[in-house]
Structure 1
Amino acid sequence: MKKVRLAGISGSLRSGSHNTAILQTLQERLADGVELSLFSLADLPLYNSDLELVELPPAVAAFRRALQEADGLVLCSPEYNGGTSGVLKNALDWASRPANASPLKGKHVLIISSSPAFTGGARAHAHLRDTLASMLSRVVVHPPVVVAGVHEKVKEGRFVDEPNIQFALGAVAALVAELRP
């Protein structure tokens, strides 16, 4: 059976990011035959269509290449002011180009959101779902993975809430099932 290659993207640049900790924990606990490579957004410039006219900035070209090479995508986003983070939205804006032919067109995507609030970033989750729909991505069919009270579920840089971990791993399994014929 062919290995499934997933790209994981945290919507936070913070060194102690809860979202990065969630992805790292999932990365370590995936089923055999599934690989999750984490991709940092730290080097992406702000989206500017003028930069597409000559040659893409190297960080953008690498990002698009990583998306194209991945079988599927796992996004893990904080909720900032009722939506996803600016850094993740910026990355998706870069990935959305060229329109109707982006590396995310038809790409299977799992969304995970988190927040210290009891809602677990549900509004960021919905924001990402709308953004990905406009990019013609295929959001995985699974109940939303939202991590409420995330600040209490990440300890010493590790995501430690076993029920949430198992639920998220189930969502990754659903993503993998959609990718395998």
Structure 2
Amino acid sequence: MKSLRVFGISGSLRQKSANAGLLRFAKDHAPSGMTIELADIRDIPFYNADLQEIPSPVQTLKDGIEKADALLLACPEYNYSIAPALKNALDWVSRAPENYLLAGKPVAIMGAGGGMGTARAQYHLRQVCVYLDLYPLNKPEVFSNAFSASFDGEGNLVDATIQELIVEQLIALQKWAMTIRYKNQ
């Protein structure tokens, strides 16, 4: 069995964000048979169909997604919805012919935010996934409070319970991706 290549995208642009911290933890604790590459979407311009050339940061994102077997999205919540940076990145990638970069790809979603974590944004992101023909993993869900002692001052995840949940989610994503791969053969 080949290694599962996962491409992680944080919707937060801050280097020390809790959402980036979730992805860093996931990358460092991926199960055997899984590798995780992290995207940097800070320089991606707003989607504009009038642009004749694909901006370099967008092409880098598209290349990373094309090589990936699955996606891992860290979804912040801004005003009860998806962070604009994450939605913008997905909008750019979805413009590939016949949405070939996203269609049929398994995805796991996690997030850190205030109060309820990012529950509302994650459910909104699931709606976007339906349109993009992505296959979201249902469980386990990962919601965390970004403003709690679960993260240190650098945005690193230090909460053992959430760490364990992320490892469980990665194992479930690995199984989900294999199931989808088997069904599509």
Whether TM exceeds 0.5 here: the answer is yes
Equivalents in 2 of 1:150, 1:72: separation in Å?
29
Runs of 4+ in 1 over 6 A off after TM superposition: none
Q: Which runs of 5+ in 1 are unaligned?
A: none
State the AA in 2 paired with 1:120. Answer: G
Classify the secondary structure of the residue corresponding to 1:152. coil
Deviation at 1:171, TM superposition (A): 1.0
Deviation at 1:116, TM superposition (A): 2.4
Deviation at 1:55, TM superposition (A): 2.7
Q: How many residues align?
A: 178
Equivalents in 2 of 1:133, 1:5: separation in Å?
22
Shift in alpha-carbon separation, 1:32–1:81, aligned structure 2, 3 A: same
Name the residue aligned to 1:163: 161
State the AA in 1 paired with 2:18. Answer: H
Is contact 2:104–2:135 with CA below 8 Å preserved after alignment? yes
State the AA in 1 paired with 2:77. Answer: E
State the AA in 1 paired with 2:80. Answer: G
Q: Which runs of 5+ in 2 are unaligned?
A: none
Name the residue aligned to 2:124: 127
Name the residue aligned to 2:24: 24
Higher mean alpha-carbon deviation, 96-105 vs 126-135, is at 96-105
Q: Are positions 1:63 and 2:61 aligned together?
A: yes
Name the residue aligned to 1:48: 48
In the TM superposition, what whole-angstrom CA distance separates every residue of 1:135-168 from its partner, at most 9, and x where no partner exists?
1100013132111355421114220111111112
Is contact 1:114–1:146 with CA below 8 Å preserved after alignment? yes
Q: CA RMSD in A?
A: 1.5
Percent of aligned pairs sharing the same letter: 33
Is contact 1:30–1:169 with CA below 8 Å preserved after alignment? yes
State the AA in 2 paired with 1:131. Answer: V
Is contact 1:141–1:174 with CA below 8 Å preserved after alignment? no
Question: In the TM superposition, what are the counterparts of 1:118-157 in structure 2 within 5 Å?
Answer: 119-157=116-154
TM-score by length of 1: 0.92
